[in-house]
Amino acid sequence: MLGHRIRRKSLLDKVTTPEAAASLIKDGMIIGMSGFTRAGDAKAVPIAMVEKAKSDPFKITLITGASLGHDIDRMLTEAGILARRMPFQVDRTLRAAINRGEVMFIDQHLSETVEHLRSHQLGPLDYAVVEAAAITEDGGIVPSTSIGNSASFAILAKKIIVEINLSQPLALEGVHDVYIPTKRPTRVPIPVVACDSRVGFPYVPIDPDKIAAIVVTNEKDSFSTVEAPDAETQAIAAHLIHFFEREVAIGRLDLSLQPLQAGIGTIANSVLAGLADGPFRDLRMYSEVLQDSTFDLFDAGKLSFASASSITLSAACSDRVFNQFHKYKDRLVLRPQEISNHPEVIRRLGVIGINTALEVDIYGNINSTHVNGTHMMNGIGGSGDFARNAYLSIFVTKSLAKGGRISSVVPMVPHVDHTEHDVDVIVTENGLADLRELAPRERAGLIVTHCAHPDYREALLDYFQRAMARGGNTPHLLGEAFSWHMRQQATGTMK
Amino acid sequence: MLGHRIRRKSLLDKVTTPEAAASLIKDGMIIGMSGFTRAGDAKAVPIAMVEKAKSDPFKITLITGASLGHDIDRMLTEAGILARRMPFQVDRTLRAAINRGEVMFIDQHLSETVEHLRSHQLGPLDYAVVEAAAITEDGGIVPSTSIGNSASFAILAKKIIVEINLSQPLALEGVHDVYIPTKRPTRVPIPVVACDSRVGFPYVPIDPDKIAAIVVTNEKDSFSTVEAPDAETQAIAAHLIHFFEREVAIGRLDLSLQPLQAGIGTIANSVLAGLADGPFRDLRMYSEVLQDSTFDLFDAGKLSFASASSITLSAACSDRVFNQFHKYKDRLVLRPQEISNHPEVIRRLGVIGINTALEVDIYGNINSTHVNGTHMMNGIGGSGDFARNAYLSIFVTKSLAKGGRISSVVPMVPHVDHTEHDVDVIVTENGLADLRELAPRERAGLIVTHCAHPDYREALLDYFQRAMARGGNTPHLLGEAFSWHMRQQATGTMK
């Protein structure tokens, strides 16, 4: 059985226990670990690291693709192992430690981390710990449900620990396309010219002598926590479908639109699923994560191809997809996140990016990450890679949070992840603001009247009008700009 | 004489007066006009438009490459001609009209404007008004000292007005490389793989039948207003040279560094000139504007090649360069600003971007544009194109402004043009903060102690420490974050 998974026979000698593999990880090391939106994360070695730390405390810098599953970030945090963490996370316990200043969190555009490693501005990596579906005859690593940063981690690390996960279907082999940009100063264009371009290897090419240990696991990925569409996300989807229909009607788009990207999470997932209800056909995705909505669109006959860096599904959808993976495989490709999120490719293809905002301000600046401008939620992730380079950059949010006590449209966001230059369209359940080629004062009128909840509209307009009396390209009253956030902190509501 | 400049004889019939050409421009039109950092701007038609407006008032949307010379933006503003203006300007009168809300200013990343035109999200252009050194036998337009957006303006506009400027040396012919990205969905990689790549035409290929009028002018470009280095800009340059030397010593860079970009203005120009004093050699530039410093580096034997979208020089340097242009010509290329500033190429080449900040905050977010968060200075220009995609993104500023009454390091910037993710290094005359791979709390310590002026350091540290007590990944006190700006507005000083 293992011979089908570890096809280079000499490597069978490297199979060992998670404990033995974890014993290689020492205090002060920089570790690159697989995992992107819960998918394809290392599952056994990090748990063994937590056990080891109980008797032998140590701290590391942990770099991943993006978020991990299986509460691994929680356990690593509780064990005191994380000195530094990058480039993304979604764990409640880790987040609290970051916000207490106990873990140094470096929040990065997801396309950039391995550039920093490759140019020796970060690293060197002591170990890459990567999940694989198989190892080829040549020692190539076949990733599982994500590539993330694993390919470059394995290529750049001094040594590699591989977790062969028997629960990951071998049918995944062939879905990956591992292309790594060549070294500067002789770097050539990335040859991806369409969602379905295949330009690399179906495995990660490495020197097999770098494999220090192989651990065998048999645990599934953590399932996604995406919630079902509700009335508000359905309304957001309806506004967006109407907008796309209008763009088609005036000849800017055809019914296949442009390649679609949808951010991680419930709202973007719902919006994407909502496209099944429109007149669109031959849709393509060039995204970072494929969620349930991707396979809903495939099954609805709406989607012709999907490219991403990971597949993260609910339990039900996971069964549906992986039990009949042949139905989808030739319409899927998984890429390193550097390529799925690369500015070069996103701009070339003309991607429509749909990302979620925590809050937006009246001029269209976006806070995606920091509650009250201070406390980290998850991280900027790939939203900046897409929003900056997209043909159309769309941000979606519900207009209210916390039962109406918080307005998602505020006078000024206290943390900016995306500036107004990178935001073309904002959609809430109330409506859609098409901000293209508008000046800030024009943007404000549209955002307040189309997107803000009626309960907060009058107060926003009052702020904007009083600010305009003071002049400026982006009029503001600095003494009041954050008064809504401060009121909410003091009284529990922005009202 | 004119036959050397207008080599397609049939077009000689199109030569007319500026007044006749200006009469083609009607109320409500969208006009694309040449000009990038004062260089290669249309000089006669806009003046004739101002005259025409005196008896026949009209308003237009004016799109340029970047800033214009010859007070043209002032005159167009005073004549009430500008309804909308994009993507950049530097004029005091226009700026005031923008800040009064009289001219709608759309501040854009300079690489993006023609993407919007090409995809019909902006436009269509009624007229392109472009300066040329010549028109070829085939009707191709040979630009002058800038390309900017002129190539795509001419290609995409319904009609073209050409200003043949006899004062622009014919020797400019051959320095241009006009490559326009192909249409989606069949767009191919931009083939620029080095600063000296030549991948397009030395002229703008257009249908000569689109040329509606040709006007002959004989006026030089406005000279640059860049000031000479002073003690502070020299100190900034010295810190940066020391930093680059250290990067070379530890093997991250060699003495040719990486292709250099320097933003428009006195500080970036001085810093670049300062590199002549370091041990570097075979430097290359991949920038948007070539200022005096570029030619100082050529003359010092330090620079091997320079690529940009325009050449903007002081009077003295202009004489030196254009009287012996053959000395430099084969080491120069001018490109459309879409290509000089393209994310794809900047990231591929690994550019070192050096841009100027108006102010920085303790976490390294940058305000480049809005005084007190509200009043527009110039615009974001190309700084975002470079800062986001650079191998190293460096921001420079003097630590004080207005004779010490303003600190350029503040608790929170009231307008964000560049988020901390896009800022690797900050330099003031006091020192350099290397922020790479650091968490926000770590960045704050370095920025305050290395970059802030000693007069403000204690107050910044006090803010940071009290904010940390409230927790967060980027600790802030929302009620105080803008107190420095408000104090300066009320009392004239941040102290």
Mean pLDDT per 10-residue interval, chain A, length 495 residues = 93 98 98 97 98 98 96 98 98 98 98 97 97 98 98 98 97 98 96 98 98 98 88 95 97 97 87 89 97 95 98 95 96 98 98 97 98 97 98 98 97 98 98 98 98 98 98 98 98 97
Q: A460 CA to chain B: closest CA distance, Å? A: 17
**B402 among the known binding-site residues?**
yes
Q: Where in chain A is the domain with CATH 3.40.1080.10?
A: 2-217, 231-491
Give start and end residues of each alpha helix (H) in A178-310.
Answer: 231-249, 266-274, 292-299
Residue written as tokens 């010859």? B70
User: Vertex B388, ends B386 and B394: CA angle to 5°?
Assistant: 65
A326-341 in b/e form (b: 16+ CB < 10 A) is eebbebbbbbbbbbbb
- C-alpha dist (Å) from residue B157 to B44, B204, B205: 19, 13, 13
Give me the residue from A106, A120, A439 closest to B438, CB to CB.
A106
Q: B4 CA to chain A: closest CA distance, Å? A: 39
CB contact under 8 A, A187 and B350: yes
Contacts of B249 in chain A (CB under 8 A): none
Whether B482 has its CB under 8 Å from any CB of chain A: the answer is: yes
**A165 among the known binding-site residues?**
no
Distance CA(A489)–CA(A309), nearest Å, equals 38
Contacts of B441 in chain A (CB under 8 A): 101, 104
Q: A350 CA to chain B: closest CA distance, Å? A: 7
Q: Where are the beta strands (DSSP E) in A166-315?
A: 211-217, 260-262, 283-286, 289-290, 303-308, 310-311
Distance CA(B71)–CA(B90), nearest Å, equals 10
CB contact under 8 A, B474 and A373: yes
Q: Phi and psi dihedrals of B461, rounded to 5?
A: -65, -40
Distance CA(A86)–CA(A67), nearest Å, equals 10
Distance CA(B98)–CA(B74), nearest Å, equals 12
Q: Which bin fits B363, alpha (ψ -120 to 50), beta or left (φ > 0)?
A: alpha
Give me the residue from A84, A119, A374 closest to B474, CB to CB.
A374
User: Which residue out of B112, B288, B359, B420 is catalytically annotated?
Assistant: B288
- Inter-residue contact A181 to A187 (CB < 8 Å): yes
Distance CA(A387)–CA(A354), nearest Å, equals 8
Give me the residue from B187, B258, B473 closest to A99, CB to CB.
B473
Whether B106 has its CB under 8 Å from any CB of chain A: the answer is: yes
Residue A231 has a pLDDT of 94
CB contact under 8 A, A348 and B347: no
Distance CA(A409)–CA(B85), nearest Å, equals 27
Contacts of B99 in chain A (CB under 8 A): 471-473
CB-based contacts of B96: which residues, under 8 Å, 6+ apart? Answer: none
In the annotation, is A288 catalytic?
Answer: yes
Residue B264 has a pLDDT of 84
CATH superfamily, region B231-491 = Glutaconate Coenzyme A-transferase (3.40.1080.10)
Q: B394 CA to chain A: closest CA distance, Å? A: 14
CB atoms within 10 A of CB A458: 11
Whether A83 has its CB under 8 Å from any CB of chain B: the answer is: no
CB contact under 8 A, A416 and B350: no
B345: nearest Cα among B315, B377, B314, B307: B307
Distance CA(B62)–CA(B48), nearest Å, equals 15
Distance CA(B69)–CA(B221), nearest Å, equals 7
Residue A227 has a pLDDT of 82
Distance CA(B67)–CA(B146), nearest Å, equals 11
Whether A417 has its CB under 8 Å from any CB of chain B: the answer is: yes
Give me the residue from B375, B439, B478 closest to A473, CB to CB.
B375
**Residue A226 tokens, joined:** 């995406």
CB contact under 8 A, B116 and A389: no
CB atoms within 10 A of CB A220: 16
**A402 among the known binding-site residues?**
yes
| ipTM confidence score | 0.97
Residue A264 has a pLDDT of 84
Contacts of B464 in chain A (CB under 8 A): none
CB atoms within 10 A of CB B124: 10
User: Which residue out of A288, A338, A359, A420 is catalytically annotated?
Assistant: A288
- Dihedral sign from CA coordinates of B4, B8, B10, B15: negative
Among B478, B486, B488, which would you mutate to test the A interface (most chain A Cβ atoms within 10 Å of its Cβ)?
B478
Distance CA(B335)–CA(A297), nearest Å, equals 42
Distance CA(A103)–CA(A365), nearest Å, equals 28
Give start and end residues of each alpha helix (H) in A219-336.
Answer: 231-249, 266-274, 292-299, 315-322
Distance CA(A50)–CA(A52), nearest Å, equals 5
- Inter-residue contact B343 to B405 (CB < 8 Å): no
Contacts of A467 in chain B (CB under 8 A): 374
pLDDT by residue (tens digit) across B201-257? Answer: 999 999 999 999 999 999 999 999 878 889 999 999 999 999 999 999 999 999 999
Residue B303 has a pLDDT of 97
Residue B274 has a pLDDT of 87
Burial class, B493, CB count within 10 angstroms (exposed 0-12 / middle 13-18 / buried 19+): middle
CB contact under 8 A, B187 and A350: yes
DSSP class of residue B448 equals I
CB contact under 8 A, A348 and B349: no
Residue A274 has a pLDDT of 87
CATH superfamily, region A2-217 = Glutaconate Coenzyme A-transferase (3.40.1080.10)
B284: nearest Cα among B309, B306, B311, B308: B306
Residue A181 has a pLDDT of 97
- Inter-residue contact A352 to A394 (CB < 8 Å): yes
Q: Which residues of chain B have pLDDT under 50?
A: none
CB contact under 8 A, A436 and B122: yes
DSSP class of residue A184 equals T
- Inter-residue contact B186 to B226 (CB < 8 Å): no
Whether B471 has its CB under 8 Å from any CB of chain A: the answer is: yes
User: Vertex A179, ends A211 and B200: CA angle to 5°?
Assistant: 150
